[in-house]
Amino acid sequence: MSIRSLELRARAVVEGFWNGLHRSPYHGFSVEFTEYRQYTPGDDPRHVDWRVYARTDRHYIKKFEDETNLRCHILLDRSRSMEFGTTGHTKADYAATLAATFAHFLHQQGDAIGLMTFDEQVRELLPARHRPGHLRHLYHAIESPAAGTSTQLGKPIERAADLLHKRGMVIVLSDFLADPAELEKPLLRLAAIGHEICAFQVLDPSERDFSFRESSLFEDAESGTTLHIDPAAARAGYLQRFNAHQQALASVCARVGVSWHPLVTDRPLGMALFDFLQDRARRGRIIRRAS
């Protein structure tokens, strides 16, 4: 609801967001035929179907579907580590809501949305479409429970690069709790195809701050291995390693040209999206200026 009230779409048009978003390689030309219509004066004669005229001696206009300017693919991480959460909802919930929001308003503005869920491998793939029932399929796929035992971002992104040939936009939703070095090569490949990549890192506040107090056996959500941890003693080391990881991730993204958005689940979703759109608008201006 908060997303609707923000009137993102109008804002994006005003700020020139669509320019950035609409760099479709087909220049307003659609291949999706829908129906024939009698020619009336004033119609563009380019659209008259001459073959039909040759057969029937009448002028018919070939009508196409609304033109799609953007193909957007959402890559959603469904691994077990996403099932962790201390704020009343898990990271998976947060990421799913975010994915649904993207899907919803991109669909509303007529763009084609695709979805790829993955854990250590690709689980589900819905090609980018803009059809009346497509959104419901998407929601269903987003809501399916997480099953993966580990997060390997490299393989799914490589697979995405194999499957997504047409240029468009790729949104990656994950906690990125994997080795950053593995990410660089697949991301580069994906970017080289011409995709614009946005990476959203969904984190729990306790992952960021390691705010546990009582010592206990810590169990890995994915592998199930346990470690005895005294938080007071372990916090400093954790934060040091976590921050190093975040920096490594940010530097990889900067090198590849991926827009990088860490999100913490205690933050309202609308705010996070708002930040993202502002960032997008800024990037759009930059691109326009560059062009």
Partner 1 sequence: MSFLAPFFLLGAAAIAGPILFHLIRRTTRNRTLFSSLRFLRPTPPRLTRKSRLENWLLLLLRCLALALLALAFSRPFFRQPTPPTSPDGPARRTVVLVDTSASMRRPDLWNDAKARAAQLFREAGPGDQLALVTFDRNSTLQVSFQQWEAASPADRATIAIAALDALQPSWNPTHLGPALVRAAEELSDTDVAQDAVRRRIHLISDLQEGARLDPLQSYEWPKGIEVIPEPVKASRTGNASIQLIAEAPDADRGTDPAVRVRVSNSADSKREQFQVRWASTDPSTPIPAPLDLYVPPGQAKILPVPVPTNSATASGTTNLPVANRPSSLVLSGDDEPFDNTLHVHPPQPSRLELLYIGNDTVAEARQPLFFLSRALPETRRQTVKINAAKPSSPPTPEALASARVIVVTSPLTDALSDSLRTRMESGQTVVFAPTGPDASLTLARLIAVPGTTLVEEKPTRYGLLGELDFRHPLLAPFADPRFSDFTRIHYWRYRRITTPLPTNAVVVTRFDSSAPAWVDFPVGRGRLVFLASGWSIADSQFALSSKFVPWLYSLLDLAGSSLSPSVHPLVGDPIPLPPGRTGLLAIRRPDGTSTNLPPSADRFTGTDQPGTWWIGEGADAKPVAVNLDPSEGRTAPLSMEQLEKLGIQLDAALSTAAAPTPKPAGTPPAAEAESRQKLWRWIITAALCLLALETLIAGLTARRAVPVQDPA
Distance of alpha carbon 251 from the chain centroid:
20
Report phi then psi at 189, rounded to 5: -65, -40
Q: In whole angstroms, how close is the CB of 111 to partner 1 at the nearest point?
A: 32
- Interface residue with partner 1 among 218, 264, 270, 279 (CB under 8 A) is 218
Q: Which residue has the tokens 């190093």?
A: 244
Pattern 137-156, binding to partner 1, x per CB under 8 A?
A: --------------x-----
Query: In Å, what is the CA distance from 143 to each residue of 43, 92, 93, 243?
Result: 45, 9, 9, 31
Options 5-13, 56-64, 185-193, 218-226: segment touching partner 1 (CB under 8 A): 218-226
Q: In whole angstroms, how close is the CB of 73 to partner 1 at the nearest point?
A: 25
Three-class secondary structure of residue 153 per DSSP: coil
- Our finding on whether 163 is near partner 1 (CB under 8 A) is no
- Our finding on whether 125 is near partner 1 (CB under 8 A) is no
Give 60 or 118: the residue with its C-beta nearer to partner 1: 118
- Our finding on whether 208 is near partner 1 (CB under 8 A) is no
Pattern 232-271, binding to partner 1, x per CB under 8 A?
A: -xx--xx--xx--x--------------------------
Residues 181-194, buried b or exposed e (16+ Cβ, 10 A)? ebbbebbbbbbeee
- Our finding on whether 216 is near partner 1 (CB under 8 A) is yes
Sign of the four-CA dihedral 134, 283, 25, 10:
positive
* CA distance linking residue 255 with residue 188, whole number of Å: 9
- Our finding on whether 102 is near partner 1 (CB under 8 A) is no
- Our finding on whether 34 is near partner 1 (CB under 8 A) is no
Quickly count: other Cβ atoms within 10 Å of residue 170's Cβ: 25
Sign of the four-CA dihedral 264, 250, 275, 128:
negative
* CA distance linking residue 116 with residue 142, whole number of Å: 9
- Our finding on whether 230 is near partner 1 (CB under 8 A) is yes
Residues 139-161, buried b or exposed e (16+ Cβ, 10 A)? eebbeeebebeebbbbebbbbbb
- Our finding on whether 78 is near partner 1 (CB under 8 A) is no
Options 130-138, 190-198, 226-234, 254-262: segment touching partner 1 (CB under 8 A): 226-234
Q: In whole angstroms, how close is the CB of 30 to partner 1 at the nearest point?
A: 44
* CA distance linking residue 4 with residue 142, whole number of Å: 20
- Our finding on whether 215 is near partner 1 (CB under 8 A) is yes
* CA distance linking residue 214 with residue 232, whole number of Å: 8
Please report, as residue ranges, which positions from 80 to 99 form the binding site for partner 1 (by CB under 8 A). Answer: 81-82, 84, 86, 91
Quickly count: other Cβ atoms within 10 Å of residue 177's Cβ: 22
Q: In whole angstroms, how close is the CB of 206 to partner 1 at the nearest point?
A: 5
Q: In whole angstroms, how close is the CB of 9 to partner 1 at the nearest point?
A: 35
Residues that bind partner 1 (CB under 8 A): 81-82, 84, 86, 91, 151, 175, 177, 204-207, 211-223, 225-230, 233-234, 237-238, 241-242, 245
